Structure formats: structure tokens, C-alpha cells
Amino acid sequence: MELEKLKEELKKDLGQKLYNHSIATMEEAEKLAKIYRGHIEKAKIAGLLHDCGKRGKDDNISHAKKSAELAIEKYGIDNEEIINAIRYHTTGRVKMALLEKIVFIADKIEPNRAYDGVEELRKIAYSNLDEAIIRSLESTIEYVKKRKMELNIESVNTLNYLKEKK
Ligand SMILES: [Fe+2]
Ligand SMILES: [Fe+2]
């Protein structure tokens, strides 16, 4: 499917707010792909579709998996790099690829995002992608710990991996 067609289909599947977030993530991913010499078209498609399987009360982790599956089944994406960028956009993973990093951060800093620390995260993201992921994961993990929610092991592994790599 072409990008315009993907947008059309996605618009039918998502509410207005999530659709706007998807478009903004696509644009942010494009911007990051230009900075870090990623594949621009793949970054745009992955950014656009990263939440395509998100429905109402889905928890944060499972919606990424569902989105990856729907991207294959409904949107006809057969590129593994794009699928992985969608699948790992909430947790990251050990040895994540550039495209995965781009979509991970684009999702967290697109212009509609408003939360404590997002401005700083944006600045870091434009100069050091790995550092931005480290900061983002650290604050997510801190948030989860404070609320005594269940810690996602994949996020912890990603964080440790990126820190060791520094
Ligand atoms: Fe998401
Ligand atoms: Fe998202």
C-alpha cells in the first residue's frame, strides 16, 4: 500500500486523537531519519503505523505487538525492519536497530506530547539518540516503580544494554 492509502485506512481504524498522534509520529520519525541517516520511507511508515492496533483499554505492552500483527495482516507490510520498529516501540530491545530507535523516540517526543521533561528529551534526541532512549526508559521505569506496577523486563534489558554500550 502506498503511504496515502495507508493514511486513509488508518484514519478509519483510529480515533481522531490517536490518528493525529500517528501522523505526528510519522513526521517526527522522518525528521530523525534525516538527522541520523536512517531510511526515510521506512521510518515514515513505521511511525505512521506504530499504534495501528491500539484500541481503548489496551495496555502499553500488548498494543505494540498487536500493532505489529495488524501492520502485517491488514496493512500489508512485509518489511521486517518496519515490523520490528512497530513491535518494539514501547520497550525497545537489546541490540535494537536504528529504525527501531527512531520510531521509539519519535513516539515519545512528537509535538503533541506534553509531559514533564519532554522538552529536554527532544533536545537530547536531536543530538544523541541512544542517550534519549536511556532517559526515556529511566523515567518510565521510575514511574512504574513508584506506582508499584509490574516492571517490564524487556525495558530493563534495553536500558542496561544501552548503558553498557556507552
Ligand atoms: Fe504505542
Ligand atoms: Fe504512540
**Residue of 70, 101, 78 lying closest to 88 (CA atoms):** 101
Burial level of 152, CB count in 10 A (0-12/13-18/19+)?
A: middle
Across the chain, mean pLDDT equals: 96
Question: Is it true that domain 3-165 has CATH number 1.10.3210.10?
Answer: yes
Of all ligands present, the nearest one to the C-alpha of 22 is 2
**Whether the Cβ atoms of residue 53 and residue 66 lie closer than 8 Å to each other:** yes
Of all ligands present, the nearest one to the C-alpha of 67 is 1
Tracing cell 502485517 back to the chain, one arrives at: 72
Please give the pLDDT value at position 56: 76
pLDDT < 50 regions, the chain: none
The alpha carbon of 53 and the centre of ligand 1 are apart by a number of angstroms equal to 9
Domain ranges of the chain: 3-165
The alpha carbon of 107 and the centre of ligand 2 are apart by a number of angstroms equal to 5
Please give the pLDDT value at position 35: 98
Q: What is the DSSP string of 61-125?
A: THHHHHHHHHHHHTT----HHHHHHHHTTTT--TT--HHHHHHHHHHHHSTT---TTHHHHHHHH
Tracing cell 509490574 back to the chain, one arrives at: 150
Q: Is the dihedral of CA 46, 12, 90, 30 positive or negative?
A: positive
The alpha carbon of 31 and the centre of ligand 2 are apart by a number of angstroms equal to 16
Q: How far apart are alpha carbons 125 and 80 in whole angstroms?
A: 24
The alpha carbon of 50 and the centre of ligand 2 are apart by a number of angstroms equal to 6
**What tens digit of pLDDT does each residue of 83-127 get?**
999 999 999 999 999 999 999 999 999 999 999 999 999 999 999
Please give the pLDDT value at position 61: 74
Please give the pLDDT value at position 59: 66
